Homo-oligomer: A and B are copies of this chain.
Amino acid sequence: MGGGFGGLQAVKALRRADVEITLIDQHNYHLFQPLSYQVATGGLSPGDIAVPLRHIFRRFAHVRVLLGEVTGFDLDRREVAVATDVPGAIRLAVPYDCLVVAAGSSYAYFGHEEWRSVALEVKSLDSALQVRGRILNAFEAAEVEPGEQQSWLTFVVVGGGPTGVEMAGQITELARDTLPGEFREIDPRGARVLLVEMEDRVLTGFPEQLSQRAAGSLERLGVTLMLRSRVVEVRPGGVEIEAGDGTRSRVQSRTVVWAAGVTASPLAQALADAAGAEVDRAGRLAVGADLTLPGHPEVLALGDMVRVADPETGQPRVLPGLAPVAMQEGRYAGRLIARRVRGRTELAPFRYRDKGSLATIGRARAVADLRWIRFGGFPAWIAWLTVHIFYLIGFENRAVVLLRWAYSYFTRGRGSRLITEAARTAKSARE
């Protein structure tokens, strides 16, 4: 249930199991989410990083794909309520013997839900397309509105994790390398990109040495780093930022990209309510070391929406919100179910195998922490490229993405800078 990294791996692990699977997702595609920031900045097309779910499972005769939104769970009757996404929104009750919930998470706005309608995100494909339109439109607006140039050409990125770092780097490269020469009234190189991070360094999931290296790369690129700072107000015309020493400053900006905080999918709460369990402050459900819901061995939950019990202490732990975590949990869930079907003994508790992390800053710049070795610069970028190309599903996507990257590496161009209706009719910067 859920066509993200976790759900996909769970279904794949059940490839040869004697079961019938219904995969429910709101979208008809699996999104390679770590690259959605590339769509948001015009480097890749939506079709490059998304593959139709039906296509992935076309040869899995025991897999049924259902396009719709899960609206609730009935654990006693063992049914999932689904509102289908087709015109007319037919409601279905999908029965199950065993349920796997992998609904992910979204960004948290620190209790300020009203900021969500102003800030932009690159979490989904649709929101990434919005960001693309809004960033490109900001340059267009600056070209025709001389009095407002500065606020149009100031971009604020909130959150110094991998997505924030990547967005800040990409917007800067767009302004410095791709757009110059295309405008007559403005110089896109004058654009300011601010990266706001609460902690005292970016990429807190990485060792400090690599954070320093990433910070150096960002600053050389032209990104303004604001560490130990937090956003205290988000309005359509700009943000207010509080520095570590308590001083506040206003930044006029029409384009705010949010990549901070994490809150579990509301389905974690729905599942907790149905099972009489609790969620933590980030809305995450606590599951056992075998990913099952306490008291409901037939219900498994995984990914960003859960905390998993530590195999030794039994205490719930938050694992990093990364694709490899969800993928390993998904594979575990699939294997567990396959074993049960064959009447075999239960599996050993789930353990996350951390193979390292990679983050890219821009063209030919990245940091890599493979645990046994840490490095940055061009070699890290090649490592990042290899891993991402390798994990992209589908031969065609890989070849096209590689071609686009090779092209933009040599020309610094970006092929997918279209402002389509989805972006234009989206949240207006002046509302």
User: Interface on A for B, CB 8 Å cutoff?
Assistant: 27-29, 45-48, 50, 52, 54-55, 57-59, 64-68, 84-88, 90, 92, 125-126, 129, 136-137, 140-141, 144-145, 179, 181-184, 254, 394-397, 399-400, 403-404, 407, 413, 415-422, 424, 428-430
B430→A87 contact, CB < 8 A: yes
Which residues of chain B have C-beta atoms less than 8 A from A400's C-beta? 400, 403-404, 415
A28 and B418 in contact, given A58-B181, A92-B144, A137-B87 (Cβ under 8 angstroms): yes
A418 and B182 in contact, given A28-B136, A86-B140, A396-B413 (Cβ under 8 angstroms): no
- Alpha-carbon distance A184/B144, docked complex (angstroms): 53
Which residues of chain B have C-beta atoms less than 8 A from A184's C-beta? 64
B125→A418 contact, CB < 8 A: yes
- Alpha-carbon distance A144/B69, docked complex (angstroms): 13
Q: Could you list some 20 contacts between A and B, CB below 8 A?
A: A28-B418, A45-B47, A46-B418, A46-B420, A47-B416, A52-B418, A55-B413, A55-B417, A59-B181, A64-B184, A65-B182, A67-B144, A67-B419, A85-B140, A87-B429, A90-B145, A126-B420, A129-B420, A399-B407, A400-B403
Which residues of chain B have C-beta atoms less than 8 A from A136's C-beta? 28
A428→B87 contact, CB < 8 A: yes
B421→A422 contact, CB < 8 A: yes
Ranked nearest first, the 9 interchain pairs of A and B with the lowest CB-CB distance are: A422-B422, A86-B141, A54-B182, A47-B416, A126-B421, A45-B47, A45-B45, A87-B430, A58-B181
Which residues of chain B have C-beta atoms less than 8 A from A59's C-beta? 181
Shortest distance between the CB of A49 and any CB in chain B (Å): 10
- Alpha-carbon distance A205/B17, docked complex (angstroms): 57
Shortest distance between the CB of A51 and any CB in chain B (Å): 8
* Nearest B residue to A428, CB-CB: B87
Taken together, the copies of this chain in the complex come to 2
Which residues of chain B have C-beta atoms less than 8 A from A182's C-beta? 52, 54-55, 57-58, 65
A430→B50 contact, CB < 8 A: no
Shortest distance between the CB of A143 and any CB in chain B (Å): 8
Which residues of chain B have C-beta atoms less than 8 A from A141's C-beta? 84, 86-88
- Alpha-carbon distance A183/B66, docked complex (angstroms): 10
* Nearest B residue to A137, CB-CB: B86
Which residues of chain B have C-beta atoms less than 8 A from A66's C-beta? 144
- Alpha-carbon distance A406/B315, docked complex (angstroms): 53
- Alpha-carbon distance A129/B419, docked complex (angstroms): 13
Shortest distance between the CB of A174 and any CB in chain B (Å): 12
- Alpha-carbon distance A129/B399, docked complex (angstroms): 23
Contact of A430 among B52, B88, B428 (CB under 8 A): B88
Which residues of chain B have C-beta atoms less than 8 A from A68's C-beta? 144
Shortest distance between the CB of A111 and any CB in chain B (Å): 27
Which residues of chain B have C-beta atoms less than 8 A from A181's C-beta? 58-59
**A52, A67, A126 pick with most chain B CB within 10 angstroms:** A52
Which residues of chain B have C-beta atoms less than 8 A from A418's C-beta? 27-29, 46-47, 50, 52, 125
- Alpha-carbon distance A424/B47, docked complex (angstroms): 16
* Nearest B residue to A54, CB-CB: B182
- Alpha-carbon distance A404/B420, docked complex (angstroms): 22
Shortest distance between the CB of A422 and any CB in chain B (Å): 4
- Alpha-carbon distance A428/B89, docked complex (angstroms): 11
Contact of A145 among B27, B86, B413 (CB under 8 A): B86
- Alpha-carbon distance A179/B420, docked complex (angstroms): 27
Known: A50-B418, A55-B182. 15 other contacts (CB 8 A): A27-B418, A28-B417, A47-B416, A47-B418, A54-B179, A58-B182, A59-B181, A84-B140, A86-B145, A87-B141, A87-B429, A88-B145, A129-B422, A394-B415, A400-B415
- Alpha-carbon distance A87/B428, docked complex (angstroms): 6
